[in-house]
Amino acid sequence: MLRSTNHSDIENNLKDIPTNYYDAFIVSGGDGTINIVINCLMKYNLNHIPIAIVPSGTANDFATFLKLPKEPKDVCKIIENYKTIPVDVGLCNDMYFINVCAAGLFANVSEKIDKNFKEALGKFAYYIKALQEMHTSKPINLKITNSNETIEDKFDLFLVLNTSGTGSIKNLSPRASISDGVFDFVGFRNVGITNLPSVAIKYLKGEYLEHDKVLFFQDKEITIESKEELNSDLDGEKGPNLPINIKNIPNAIRVFVE
């Protein structure tokens, strides 16, 4: 058993493991921890070994999507039954993600929060930081290319989703599937304060993807460019700066489920 105290701990312990030595990995942590493990599994050709997730940490949107239990004893029962499902993985330039690639307003909130502040307030710390971000954030000029078209516009935020939600918001993309070979792109076009109420109302009705301020499409490969300096976020961890090329790797890993 390994207790990780920094990002390098997990990689240092996985990089020299023989590819056929273990039958399964058990990972306890939030989305960031899962992200680090996924990157190691893909990087060191260990992705054929299924993983069991014990949801912990401040947030675990991927585990929430899979409706995984939080109690370790219940996770052990799942492992005992040995039911696994294939899951797509995203490749963003040379880094991997399992839940979401994002950039813009709110996207880097988790990276900017003081660790002690997060430990003291939990998820509430994210909301406080997000409110602070709203006062300083400006729309970003983006060039988005998918298999069918190129879109150029100003965006407050974009999300490339593998599951249906992130940041504890569960239904950002109700159509999402973790094994369909495509990602769901959701981009908010310079919404602003005046348009925010109409987007919110549409969201509550489950109709916001059709709002004219929201860009939605599904694709297996997406390129996003900007002349402005912009850093991406992968599962709550710092990702590469734009431009980024995102590819879906179908059925790349297997995860234990009930």
CATH number of the domain where residue 199 is located: 2.60.200.40
pLDDT at position 84 is 96
Q: Using CA atoms, how far apart are residues 134 and 45, in angstroms rounded to an integer?
A: 41
Q: How many domains does the chain have?
A: 2
Name residues of the chain where pLDDT drops below 70. 1-7, 57-58, 106-137, 167-170, 192-208
Q: Are residues 151 and 241 in the same domain?
A: yes
Q: Are residues 104 and 221 in the same domain?
A: yes
Question: Is residue 153 exposed (0-12), middle (13-18) or buried (19+ Cβ within 10 Å)?
Answer: middle
The average confidence (pLDDT) of the chain is: 82
pLDDT at position 123 is 44
* Nearest Cα residue to 85 out of 54, 51, 126: 51
Rg of the chain over Cα atoms, rounded to whole angstroms, equals 18
Domain end position, chosen among 39, 64, 90: 90
> Which residue matches tokens 């996985």?
14
Q: Using CA atoms, how far apart are residues 243 and 144, in angstroms rounded to an integer?
A: 10
pLDDT, tens only, 157-192: 899 999 987 765 667 787 889 999 999 999 988 776
Q: Using CA atoms, how far apart are residues 200 and 202, in angstroms rounded to an integer?
A: 5
pLDDT at position 122 is 45
* Nearest Cα residue to 103 out of 249, 247, 224: 224
Q: Are residues 86 and 109 in the same domain?
A: no
Residue-range definition of the domain harbouring residue 30? 7-90
pLDDT, tens only, 66-83: 999 988 899 999 999 999
Q: Are residues 118 and 66 in the same domain?
A: no
**To 10 degrees, the CA torsion angle through 13, 249, 64, 6?**
30
